[in-house]
Structure 1
């Protein structure tokens, strides 16, 4: 009879070997989260589905207030942009853009070989601005138009809500942003998500900067990009570089989702913003194509939606140093069609 004290280690070794074989197989059965099917974030970089690095170079377009100006999307592309950020409304403050309208916007972006960043503007300045709505309400809107977004993960980035807090109660941004991200993931939206900073997008309190890592970790898909809006707060190269460098060093994806060359709250350093974005390989989206109210009409890139009438700001953004014309690279998802043509039928239907 063999000694039980000698048999036990042998049995333990056999069991350990069997577990070593089974554990990897069990791990394949139920992944922690679905792998992104389109855009994804990896090591702080925004990548296309094929793994190609994508750097946004584009502008904002106020679609919700000018729904008949849909030709602006083609005109923006003609200026060499690779991305357009489209203003939408969920109906809480401005007229709701319905599913059919959003589907048409996405179709026009694809037809013109642009990546489409869609944002809900009704959240702007929540806590400061009368009528502004919550990120949770914005998330409900995205879920309600899910059919216009499904299958578009290689073409569409969902910017949950524009400038979702003003200067009051900005500390609530972290929990509310996590909640909105999780609501969208639980509803089955697999797109890359973009989240705007509080403080009217400018994050002067550094709420987004200091909590970005925990917000990113709260997304089970690890597929969230952060967006700062650079206006008067970013009036020196030192401020611009310090803010953006911190995200890059932390390997957290950051874009400048809005910026201008002037503003009522101060004079942003647009040269530093564009130079830093180019040096760091991060995206920027200038505000805005046309149609600004009279108090900030100087931020129009073209006059009266006419692509042949660039303003001085438009000349700077499109044709200046580190500008769109010199630095924009079209998304690789469109590489199956010749430049200047529509994507193939298979691409357009995806």
Structure 2
């Protein structure tokens, strides 16, 4: 999530039970397991080390700013979530490098709750020129050591929302081909998660460039991520959402919705957390459930007013980062909607069974 104004939606398409409600094939084991250190991608799906298909159902948490200890993870776990996207940075807000030990502790705390940790670098939000710096961060020797320590269950999101709507297909392919290959050469073999450009929103570009980036990955172990801050006020109808998701599924793209919320869309100069910033999150939920697409909702809260817009308290799913203070649309996504976390999430047996396949 961009903490200030989110850029204009790339609208070429417009211009143009706990665990009991998922289908049975969500737990079907693959017949053969690849030579990977942990989770892996096959076709468009994510699997745990035991071969169980895992459809992500979880939340984002701004740990870098609001929870350095991971105390919120036990609260998040009460929703039944199977994944937390841990918001992190290469540099502190004062410019000093973040500590590998702090990231290590957060990953450990997440796994202790039987949830998959997805770590991401937030420094590059909207800035394509920062991609190389994010790669350099992940290649730091102490960071690689942390990744390898947790590689059995870790997902690594290279750069949050890297790039605006001016990044071309060629730039994206070249940039992420280099990034992926450098990370593999550094000894990182977890699934790598790659956000779309235009502050994460451009799914159409991911459909076009994804196959080439996958082919460039020696491990063939990539997930792509779209952040669906698509504005109702500017044409993101239910049909638009359905068409976007269906096209990506038809293309066989391994992708998730890495961020979405009830607000946060381009609002034509008004607050992204006001009426014009509304997002059709209910259609996103229902279509993701229908098409078996993983998702991570933004954001557990509190802290979304940190971007300077007091209205953005509406993007906090909770008041005090506790399960008991879930509210409004956040409570709906977590607990009460037919496609909510609590009603559809299935945890990895590998994590539930203390990293054993049974």
- TM-score computed with the length of structure 2 as normaliser: 0.79
3-state DSSP of counterpart to 1:305: coil
Question: How far does residue 154 in structure 1 lie from its aligned partner after superposition?
Answer: 2.6
Q: Distance in 2 between matches of 1:285 and 1:254?
A: 12
* Number of the residue aligned with 1:333: 350
3-state DSSP of counterpart to 2:304: coil
Question: How far does residue 238 in structure 1 lie from its aligned partner after superposition?
Answer: 1.6
Question: How far does residue 95 in structure 1 lie from its aligned partner after superposition?
Answer: 5.4
Residue deviations 1:4-35, cap 9 Å, x none?
xxxxxxxxxxxxxxxxxxxxxxxxxxxxxx93
3-state DSSP of counterpart to 1:263: coil
* Number of the residue aligned with 1:303: 319
Q: Which has the larger radius of gyration?
A: 1
Question: How far does residue 140 in structure 1 lie from its aligned partner after superposition?
Answer: 1.3
Count of residues in correspondence between the two structures = 300
Q: Distance in 2 between matches of 1:36 and 1:79?
A: 30
Gaps of 5+ in 2: 1-33, 267-276
Residue deviations 1:293-343, cap 9 Å, x none?
12422110001323311120221111212000000011111232xxxxxx4
Q: Distance in 2 between matches of 1:334 and 1:288?
A: 23
* Number of the residue aligned with 1:312: 328
Residue deviations 1:115-162, cap 9 Å, x none?
0000000010005xxxxx522211111121011110422311000000
Contact 2:70–2:110 under 8 Å retained in 1:
no
Question: How far does residue 252 in structure 1 lie from its aligned partner after superposition?
Answer: 1.9
Tell me whether 1:159 sits opposite 2:175 in the alignment.
no
* Number of the residue aligned with 1:273: 284
> How do 1:18-167 residues align onto structure 2 when only pairs under 5 Å count?
35-68=35-68, 70-91=70-91, 96-126=97-127, 134-144=130-140, 145-167=143-165
Gaps of 5+ in 1: 1-33, 128-132, 337-342
In structure 2, the CA distance between the partners of 1:103 and 1:69, relative to structure 1 (3 Å rule), is closer
Q: Which has the higher contact order (CA 8 A, sep 6+)?
A: 2
Aligned CA-pair RMSD: 1.9
Question: How far does residue 264 in structure 1 lie from its aligned partner after superposition?
Answer: 4.5
Contact 1:157–1:192 under 8 Å retained in 2:
yes
In structure 2, the CA distance between the partners of 1:297 and 1:174, relative to structure 1 (3 Å rule), is farther
* Number of the residue aligned with 1:20: none
Question: How far does residue 69 in structure 1 lie from its aligned partner after superposition?
Answer: 5.5
Contact 1:44–1:251 under 8 Å retained in 2:
yes
Q: Distance in 1 between matches of 2:145 and 2:229?
A: 35
Q: Distance in 2 between matches of 1:135 and 1:71?
A: 30
* Number of the residue aligned with 1:190: 189
Tell me whether 1:321 sits opposite 2:332 in the alignment.
no
Q: Distance in 1 between matches of 2:352 and 2:87?
A: 27
3-state DSSP of counterpart to 1:278: helix
- TM-score computed with the length of structure 1 as normaliser: 0.81
Q: Distance in 2 between matches of 1:323 and 1:169?
A: 34
Residue deviations 1:160-205, cap 9 Å, x none?
000000123354222111111111011110100000000010006x
3-state DSSP of counterpart to 2:323: coil
